[in-house]
Amino acid sequence: MDLRLAHGLNEDEINKYAKIITTKYVSIAEYKANVNEKMSSFNHKHLPYEFIIPFNLMPLLIYEDALYIGEVGYCYPVNPNTNHGIDFDLNSSVISIVVDMNYLDELKKELNHEGKYFYTKFLVSKELLMTLSIFRVTQDINLMEDIVKILITDGLKENIDTRKPANFYFTNMKKSILYMLDNYENPDLTIKDIASKSDYAYTYFTKAFKRYMNDTPVNHLNRIRLSKAKELMKNPDLSLNEIVIKSGFKTQSNFTEVFKRIVGMKPKEYRKKYIGDYKNEN
């Protein structure tokens, strides 16, 4: 299969990417958010591996029969011959990296990761961000193998597949998640508000949400807000307090507590370790 074709369903959709650089074994495509020309929703599969790196929140990624959000700061790997896509038109900045299956498997052997499987997501390291940043400017194809090796090393650390398959909760859960995505910047948004959009009673909604998303509604809302915060952290001109307000948290102390609990470090530590002087070029 032509690696370039793995970025979309057809040539028209692929041409919406701002940049596509393809070699014999790797293709890297960059799509920038554009309200006038969105990437259409799709669901497909292909033999090459793919790695999806969102720079803005990507609502409702599809992986087999599971639906979940794509958070900033994470890479989402797609294993060969796996159904995947987006549930509705995309208006997020994202990089798609497609890698020939045999080529990547050989690199896995070389790096002592033979037989290991990519799961839901993994943190995008500062090394990967910096290498991608240099590649985006120089378009040096010699960096493409380095990028793939970093993806293998970062992505094959032990992790857990948290994707949950679609089931009879699908319609109501989807409505509530979309409501979260539209209103997360409101610090007064409550879980009862969100539950009211699902047509379920509050107590039943929280149980159904956990079964469907493998997470509580509160944690899911916080993950959406943290994803926005991590996107804003790339702007060195924004203070931490401005980021707190723009991402929907009521107080800086609450933001710091939630960030540390979910991400595993304080916001300032994350900004220094994973972002540093890196800037997303839009």
The fourth-level CATH superfamily of domain 3-155 is Jelly Rolls (2.60.120.10)
pLDDT at 189 > cutoff 50: yes
When mean pLDDT is compared across 125-134, 207-216, 248-257, the lowest value belongs to 207-216
When mean pLDDT is compared across 21-30, 136-145, 234-243, 273-282, the lowest value belongs to 273-282
Query: Shortest CA distance to 50 belongs to which of 91, 8, 88, 17?
Result: 8
pLDDT mean across residues, the chain: 88
pLDDT at 101 > cutoff 90: yes
pLDDT at 76 > cutoff 60: yes
pLDDT band with cut points at 50, 70 and 90 for residue 278: very low
Query: Shortest CA distance to 231 belongs to which of 14, 125, 74?
Result: 74
C-alpha to C-alpha distances, 202 to 48, 130, 133, 190, 209, nearest whole angstrom: 43, 44, 45, 11, 10
The pLDDT value recorded for residue 231 is: 92
CATH code of the domain made up of 170-275: 1.10.10.60
CB–CB of 181/217 below 8 Å? no
Q: What is the mean pLDDT of residues 235-258?
A: 94
Query: Shortest CA distance to 119 belongs to which of 152, 159, 88, 83?
Result: 159
The pLDDT value recorded for residue 35 is: 66
Domain ranges of the chain: 3-155, 170-275
CB–CB of 79/72 below 8 Å? no
